[in-house]
A and B are shown apart, each in its own frame.
Chain A
Amino acid sequence: MIESSPPPGEKGEKQPRDTPLWAQRVERLEVSDVPEGAANVNVQGRREVGALQGFGQLWQKTYRVRLAGLEKTPEEVVREWKEHFPEFLPLNSRFYPSMEGVAPGEVLFISASVGGMPVHTGVRVIYADDESFTVMTPEGHPESGWNTFSAYQDDDGATVAQIQSLARANDPIYEVGFRIVGATQQERIWTHVLKSLAAHFSVNEPVSLEKVCVDPKVQWSQVRNVWHNAGARSMLYTITAPLRWRRASQD
Chain B
Amino acid sequence: MTERETDGDQTLHGSLHSLRGEYEEIKEIYRTRRQDMPEAQVSMNVRKASEKVSIIDVEGELTAFAEDLLMDAYNQASDGQARAIILNFEDLEYMNSSGIGLLVTLLIRINREKQQLLTYGLSDHYKSIFQITRLDDAISTYDTEEEAVRAANAM
Residues on A close to B: CB < 8 A? 6, 9-11, 13, 15-19, 21-25, 48-53, 58, 60, 126-127, 129, 132, 134, 136, 146, 148, 155, 157, 164, 166, 214-215
Contact = CB atoms under 8 A, between A and B. Distances in A.
Contact of A52 (B97, B123, B124, B134): B134
A50 B134 contact: yes
B127 to A, nearest CB: 9
Given A52-B104, A60-B105, A18 B95 contact: yes
Given A25-B131, A52-B134, 6 more contacts: A11-B124, A21-B96, A52-B137, A127-B97, A146-B100, A215-B112
A138 to B, nearest CB: 12
A135 to B, nearest CB: 9
Interface of B: 30, 33-34, 37, 92-98, 100-101, 104-105, 107-108, 112, 123-126, 128-129, 131-135, 137-138
B33 A157 contact: yes
Contact of B123 (A16, A136, A157): A16
Contact of B101 (A13, A17, A19, A146): A146
A75 B9 CA distance: 46
B132 A51 contact: no
B92 to A, nearest CB: 8
Given A16-B123, A127-B97, A22 B104 contact: no
